[in-house]
Amino acid sequence: MSTEVKVPTLGESVTEATVGEWLKQPGDAVAVDEPIASLETDKVAVEVPSPVAGRLESHAVEVGATVEVGAVIALVTAGDTAPAEKAPAAQPKADKALADKQSSDEIAALPDDKAAASGAPAGDGSVTMSPAVRRAVIEHGVDPTSIKGTGKDGRLTKEDVIAAAEAKKAAPSDASAPAAPAPAPVPAAAKGERREERVKMTRMRQTIAKRLKGAQDNAALLTTFNDCDMTAVIEAREAYKDLFAKKHGIKLGFMSFFAKAACLALKDVPAVNAYIDGDEIVYHDYVDISVAVSAPNGLVVPVVRSADAMSFAEIELAIADFGKRAKEGALTMDDMAGGTFTISNGGVFGSLMSTPIINPPQSAVLGLHRIEDRPVARNGEVVIRPMMYLALSYDHRIIDGREAVTALKIMKEAIEDPMRLLIDL
C-alpha cells in the first residue's frame, strides 16, 4: 500500500518551497520520521520525513521544482523494507543536469570511486551529497568516502570538503611510504578559451537579495562609525576564560560583550530598538538580538530572545548553538522569527570596515570588524592598542543622527570599560 509524502507546514506566511535535495532514492528503505528530502524555503532548509516505515516507491517532483504546502512529493510503500530488486538506477535528472554543467575534462580526471560518489548510485561506499558539496568534491579532487561529515546524520557539508582539501595540502609527505600513482592530469583549457556557468539561485539567496534591496529602497539608510579599544575586553577574557569555561562549559567570546553593550544602549535610546509599521512606531521593552550567522546556503539571522535578561554564559551558549545548527542546516523558522536589532560580525572574515544593511523591519544593525593593533593617543602619548571599527547603520526615518551616535557611543564606552555593563551605566 502506497502512502503519500506531502510538503509539511513550513511556518507562518511561508506557502511554498523548492526541492533542494533528495536524501533517499526510489528503492531505498526508510524508517518512520526518517528524512527523505530537503526543501529550501525563504529562510531555512526543511527536511521532509517519511510518515511510515517502508520503501521509497517514487519521486513525484524533481530537484529544483517549486512545491506548495500539502503537495505530494513522493510515495512510500508501507511495510516493505526489503531492498528492491532492480537494475542499477539511472543517474537522477538533477544530478545529470549538474554533471552536464561540469567540463568533460574535470569529470574525466576523477577516479572511478569519486565519479560514482558524485551523484550516480553506487554500492556500499556511496556518499549522499548535495549539488554544492558534489561540486566542491570535483573542484578540490578529494575522496568523499574518506571524509567524516559534520552535517545532520553525518552528511558531508561544503566546509567538510574544503577542510579535507586543505588538510591534504598541509599534510607532510612521508619519504618512506611508497609513492602514490600520480593523478591523471587535467587537460589545460585552450589558450584564450573562456567559460561561464549559469546556476539557478536558491530560494534563500533570492529572498536575501529581495530583502536587502527592499531595505535600500524603503529605508533612509545612513551609517555612523566609531572605533573601539578592545584592551579591557581582551584582558577580561584572558583573566577569566578558564574559570568561565569550567563553570559554564562554553568559551567566553566577544559577542556576549557586544550583545550586553547593545542592550545597554537600546534601553537608553529606544528608537534604535523600534521599527516603523505604517504610520506608527512600534517600541519594545525587551531586546531580541538577531545574530548574523554564515550557513552553507547563505547568511541567516537566528534570534537571541530577551538578550537583555540573559547572562554572558546564556548568550554565548545560545550563539554557539545557532552556529552549530546553521552549519548542519537544522535551524527552524521559529529560530529566525522576530528580532528587534541585529549584530553582524564581518571581522571573522577579515573585514576592516563596512556599512551593514538593516534587517527589515528592524531599524538598526551593528557591524563588528577585525581587531588590529593601531597607534592611538593616550594621555599625550602614542601607544599601540588593539582597535576595532564599529559601524551602526540605521533608518534615518525613525532614528535621528544624535540618537544613532549616542547609541554607538554607549556601546563603545561599555566595551572599553566593561564595568559599565555591571552597574548599568
273 close to 411: Cβ distance less than 8 angstroms: no
Give yes or no: residues 33 and 154 share one domain.
no
Give yes or no: residues 267 and 227 share one domain.
yes
Cα(98)–Cα(96) distance, integer angstroms: 5
Q: What's the confidence (pLDDT) of residue 90?
A: 43
Cα(412)–Cα(418) distance, integer angstroms: 10
- The β-bridge relationship of strands 289-291 and 341-345 is parallel
Cα(123)–Cα(250) distance, integer angstroms: 41
45 is a domain residue: yes
Give yes or no: residues 63 and 102 share one domain.
no
202 is a domain residue: no
Query: What are the b/e assignments for 326-359, b being 16+ CB within 10 Å?
Result: bbbbbbebebbeebbbbbbbbbeeebeebebbbb
Cα(311)–Cα(315) distance, integer angstroms: 6
**DSSP string for 22-61:** ESS-TT-EE-TT-EEEEEE-SS-EEEEEPSSSEEEEEESS
214 is a domain residue: no
Give yes or no: residues 21 and 123 share one domain.
no
Domain of residue 64, CATH code = 2.40.50.100
> For the chain, how many structural domains are there in total?
3
Residue 28 a catalytic site member: no
Give yes or no: residues 255 and 341 share one domain.
yes
Q: Which domain does 335 fall in, by range?
A: 220-423
Domain of residue 260, CATH code = 3.30.559.10
165 close to 114: Cβ distance less than 8 angstroms: no
- Triad 88, 199, 34: Cα angle to 5°: 45
Give yes or no: residues 232 and 354 share one domain.
yes
Give yes or no: residues 314 and 396 share one domain.
yes
209 is a domain residue: no
3-state SS assignment for residue 376:
strand
Cell of 67: 512545491
Q: What's the confidence (pLDDT) of residue 131?
A: 57
281 is a domain residue: yes
Give yes or no: residues 408 and 278 share one domain.
yes
For 41, residues 6+ apart whose C-beta sits below 8 A from its C-beta are 10, 11, 14, 17, 18, 203, 204, 333
Cα(90)–Cα(358) distance, integer angstroms: 47
* pLDDT tens per residue, range 114-130: 433 333 333 344 556 66
Cell numbers 600513482 correspond to 181
Q: Final residue of a domain: which of 49, 69, 86?
A: 86
Q: What's the confidence (pLDDT) of residue 78?
A: 82
* pLDDT tens per residue, range 369-416: 999 999 999 999 999 999 999 999 999 999 999 999 999 999 999 999
Give yes or no: residues 318 and 418 share one domain.
yes
Give yes or no: residues 338 and 290 share one domain.
yes
- The β-bridge relationship of strands 364-368 and 341-345 is parallel
Run of H or E residues at 161: helix 158-170
Give yes or no: residues 297 and 391 share one domain.
yes
118 is a domain residue: yes
208 is a domain residue: no
Give yes or no: residues 47 and 137 share one domain.
no
33 is a domain residue: yes
Q: Which of 33, 105, 153, 396 is catalytic?
A: 396
pTM of this structure? 0.62
Q: Which of 153, 334, 400, 417 is catalytic?
A: 400
* pLDDT tens per residue, range 205-220: 777 788 888 888 888 9
331 close to 299: Cβ distance less than 8 angstroms: no
From 305, 294, 329, select the one nearest 44 (Cα to Cα).
Answer: 329
Those residues of the chain that have pLDDT short of 70 are: 11-13, 42-43, 80-132, 134-135, 152-153, 171-191, 297-298, 425
Q: Final residue of a domain: which of 41, 68, 86?
A: 86
Cell of 368: 563588528
Q: What's the confidence (pLDDT) of residue 340?
A: 95
Q: Final residue of a domain: which of 70, 86, 102?
A: 86
Residue 59 a catalytic site member: no
CA dihedral sign, ordered 326, 329, 333, 334: negative
Q: What's the confidence (pLDDT) of residue 178?
A: 53
Cell numbers 574559570 correspond to 243
